Structure 1
Amino acid sequence: MAMKKEERALLYQFPEEQIAAVQNVFRTLGIRLLVLPADAWREKIGFLLGIKGYKKALRQTDEHFSFSHRLLLLEHIQGKRLTKVLEALQDAGVPRISYKSAITPYNTLWTLRYLCEHMAKEHAASAERADREGNE
């Protein structure tokens, strides 16, 4: 019998007052939660998850990255389970999270910054599509 993979979630840029509600939901559902620090954007997703072989980013430059959205990353949570998690967050009064992504073997190689930028581009493109379709 295959062992069930540990469900984990990463929170980024959540306001303090929402973190407690999210923590309660994930604790109730048995999902391990990591709240990422503001400067986590420099790191690869794999490093943030503590996956073997990922090292801390060396460059500690003074470059600045600003991402004003809340981001939820989910590992091994999909389908009905994902629906249940999102409904539980909604029931707990957590505002809808537009930036959420599944953690994949592919995006663990990305820095958090790259993932944020990638998602921002996708959001802009789908908003543009919705505008176009609405104006036809």
Structure 2
Amino acid sequence: MMKKEERVLLYQFPEEQITVIRDVLRALGIRVQLLSDGAWREKVGYLLGLKGYKATAQQGDAHFDFPHRLLLLEHIQGKRLTKLLAALDEAGIPRITYKSAITPYNTLWTLRYLCEHMAKEHAVSAGDREGDI
């Protein structure tokens, strides 16, 4: 079986971190794709370039405020994910709270929906840690 190409999509990262992350991922043989500020309007499948996905027709003046960095991981899991995160840590990249593996389900979601979904999950888990035990 042929190994699937690993790819990381970066959203909302500052330029100085992008440079470091690119170097780390290049050393690991992982492709990097930068997402534009307006990528939140698109389905994840479209952002990945998957067949059957088209650009959203509505551009409008809608606004989406998601002030977090987001790491989307394609074909990276297990020990490989651990190695990637350790390499980013060693390179001085601050911990990335919002990260998600690409799944058949979330390719159907807009990036906005994925971000909102992750923010809700993060709020719930953060609340659990702060609650009475």
- Structure 2 length as normaliser, TM-score? 0.98
Q: Quick one: distance in 2 between partners of 1:57 and 1:23? A: 28
For 2:37, give the aligned amino acid: A
The Cα of 1:117 is off from its aligned counterpart by 0.2
1:93 alignment counterpart: 92
Q: Which runs of 4+ in 1 moved over 4 A?
A: none
SS of equivalent to 1:9? strand
SS of equivalent to 2:67? coil
The Cα of 1:99 is off from its aligned counterpart by 0.3
Deviations 1:13-50 (A, max 9, x none): 00111000000011111111101010000000000010
| Count of residue pairs brought into register by the alignment | 133
2:115 alignment counterpart: 116
Cα RMSD between the aligned structures?
0.6
Q: Quick one: distance in 2 between partners of 1:60 and 1:99? A: 25
Gaps of 5+ in 2: none
The Cα of 1:116 is off from its aligned counterpart by 0.2
- Structure 1 length as normaliser, TM-score? 0.96
2:32 alignment counterpart: 33
